[in-house]
Amino acid sequence: LAGTGHGLISRNLGETILSLESCLVPRLGWFVTLGTRIGLHEETVLSVAWICLLGSGCGLLMGIASRFSAILAWFLHLCAAKSGGFVSYGVDNFTTIGLFYLMLSPLPDRYSVDWRLRKSRLNDPQLLGFWLRLLQLHLCIIYFFSGLTKCLGSGWWNGSNIWRALIRPPFNIIDPEILVRWKYLFPVAGISICLLEIGYPFFIWNSKTRKIWLIFICGMHAGIGLAMGMYLFALIMIILNVTAFGPGLIRTEHARISLRPQEVIL
């Protein structure tokens, strides 16, 4: 994401196109411009940005300065994703979504360093249920319309989209001979994905079918990750689903916030 003459794809080109949409969209160019005014080179500014993004991610993982780390991670990731629009894809969008809800949700978590060392506590635990419900609704909308879009085309019904996805570089990690041998399963896989996604808001919301549908969805993403080498994408989607609908399935002795149709563990 370096400027003109550096990097795989010019950041300046991506940000110029981004400016046509809106000059208010966050981008790494803001930091580069600011750094130039104080005598810093572009490479130095970008390196500092990546270090800060890595540091904020580690802070979130350990629960150190949780709120600040969440805000910084969301903003820097959004800037990087928008500046690298030519090379970003779904995983960047879903990571931004996850960081956005994490930034707004009550922090810190009971297992964080902030909770244990600084004795920080949630001011209003009920807000946790509100933001969790919002994430659940967001995922339901995403999956439903994703499944609906797939159903409108023939490629998912006859399996041709599965075939094209598996033979397209750089996702063609499975030997073509194996794909040809199992080509009769492609229509089944395509229809199954359509049904899983379009049925997501109906079956994941029902407490009786939530567990099995969550397992199916996580299995689908794990399969896609293994078959196409999209391990990070699969991990992000599994984390989002388990975060949204997993807590009500885990029974512990910890205090709970009652939420219908599920419970949220504090």
Neighbouring C-alpha atoms within 13 Å toward the C-beta of 193: 21
pLDDT at residue 257, as a whole number: 43
**Rounded CA separation 65/118 (Å):** 10
> Considering only CA atoms, which of 164, 215, 158 is closest in space to residue 188?
158
Q: Cβ contacts of residue 69 below 8 Å, gap of 6+?
A: 55, 56, 57, 59, 60
pLDDT at residue 121, as a whole number: 63
Say yes or no to pLDDT of 262 above 90: no
Say yes or no to pLDDT of 47 above 60: yes
pLDDT tens digits, residue range 197-255?
Answer: 999 999 998 889 999 999 999 999 999 999 999 999 999 999 999 999 988 676 433 44
- Per the prediction, the chain carries an average pLDDT of 84
**Rounded CA separation 85/15 (Å):** 8
Mean pLDDT over 4-32 rounds to: 73
With a pLDDT cut of 90, the percent of the chain lying above it is: 53
Say yes or no to pLDDT of 140 above 90: yes
Where are the chain's structural domains? 1-123, 134-266
Confidence tier at 263 by pLDDT (50, 70, 90): very low
pLDDT at residue 128, as a whole number: 76
Give the residue, 134 or 107, on which the prediction is more confident.
134
Say yes or no to pLDDT of 89 above 70: yes
**Rounded CA separation 214/216 (Å):** 5
pLDDT tens digits, residue range 172-191?
Answer: 899 989 999 998 999 999 99
